[in-house]
Amino acid sequence: MAKAFLYKQRLWQTCGIVCEYGLSLITHKPLVHFYPPALMLEPTNICNLHCPLCLTGNGKLLRPRGMMSLPLFKKICREVQNKIGMLILWSQGEPFLNPDFYAMLEYASKQNFYTMTSTNASLELNIERIVKSGLHKIIISLDGITAETYNKYRINGNFDLVLKNMQELVHQKEKLHSNKPYIVWQFLIMKHNENEIEEVKHLARKLKIDKLEFKTAQIYSSDDLAFLPSDHKYSRYFQQGNKFTLKTQLKNRCIRLWTQPVINWDGEMNICCYDKNGSIKIGNIQEHSFSELWCGKKIQKMRKAILNNRSAFEICQNCGEGIVQKIKMVKGEKVKKWKSGKVE
């Protein structure tokens, strides 16, 4: 009964915030009284890889590096558990580098959160503990079917170890008779690996992966253009010479500001995951309540500005949120959609 009541509370909050978002679009005034359905928490912004298109990996992340403490994680969970149902447990680093991360997964599961995380899986993992933790969904980044292809982007990565961890996850789920976590193989499409798409599909089926997801690359400067695939349907950008623009015009709206805030490892709240450097200051959860930050003047001012002129914000100018494109993957397959830079 207690769990059913909890789910009803969370559903009520989700319905409320979605309605408020709709009204905000109509009135051009930010209405926020309900809580978001999801909260992104950053276990760490430290990573073991040096991926060239990642601000953490290429050393261009401006924020201090660190790891969220278990007490802070529990404090946040206790504060929002009656109203928020989903915890997205990653941001700008490798979550499993945080020695408390397994305990975080286990604690969140006991509090009846839906949990999901994303990992490069290029490190030794306690697979059995992951399966037993109650984690609902795990995204594993593997951008090649050979070590040679993989290492062109996942610098300092271990292809064989990633593959081993994926296989062991499938094995442990079967051994423990568990349908969790749902395993997603995420494949970032770039020029050097776009020719492997069909082989990746075959391998994913062979390994019994729950889902294979193709994702388009985000770039930041003309120096990154070499990573964009030759087949433009796999890119989120139009390219002309050394210039690139998003394939869609920015609309004066962003549902993320109503549905998915981010709290960094040190407790600082971000408006969304695209503000990787935390350039827009909202406040710290260690100094204010979640409600004070979520409904406060700073974030409301940001929401109002987005509703009137989103293109004025630098972090929005390279945001793929809302991009939708139809792609026929192979002959005989149905036309599928990808959204927010993803091809499913």
Distances, alpha carbon 61 to alpha carbons 47, 65, 278, 337, in Å: 11, 9, 10, 32
pLDDT at residue 321 in the model: 63
pLDDT at residue 336 in the model: 41
pLDDT at residue 12 in the model: 97
d(CA 296, CA 291): 8
Which residues, including other chains, have CB under 8 Å from residue 255's CB and lie 6 or more apart?
A: 21, 321
Question: What is the residue extent of each domain of the chain?
Answer: 1-119+258-292, 133-248
Does domain 1-119+258-292 sit in CATH 3.20.20.70? yes
- Count CB atoms within 10 A of the CB of residue 337: 11
Q: How many Cα neighbours within 13 Å face the side chain of 319?
A: 23
Share of the chain above pLDDT 90, in %: 85
Per-residue pLDDT of the chain (344 residues; tens, 9 = 90+): 488 999 999 999 999 999 999 999 999 999 999 999 999 999 999 999 999 999 999 999 999 999 999 999 999 999 999 999 999 999 999 999 999 999 999 999 999 999 999 999 999 999 999 999 999 999 999 999 999 999 999 999 999 999 999 999 999 999 999 999 999 999 999 999 999 999 999 999 999 999 999 999 999 999 999 999 999 989 999 998 899 998 888 899 999 999 999 999 999 999 999 999 999 999 999 999 999 999 999 999 999 999 999 988 888 888 876 444 433 333 334 334 444 444 44
- Beta strand pairing call for 342-343 and 211-216: antiparallel
d(CA 344, CA 322): 15
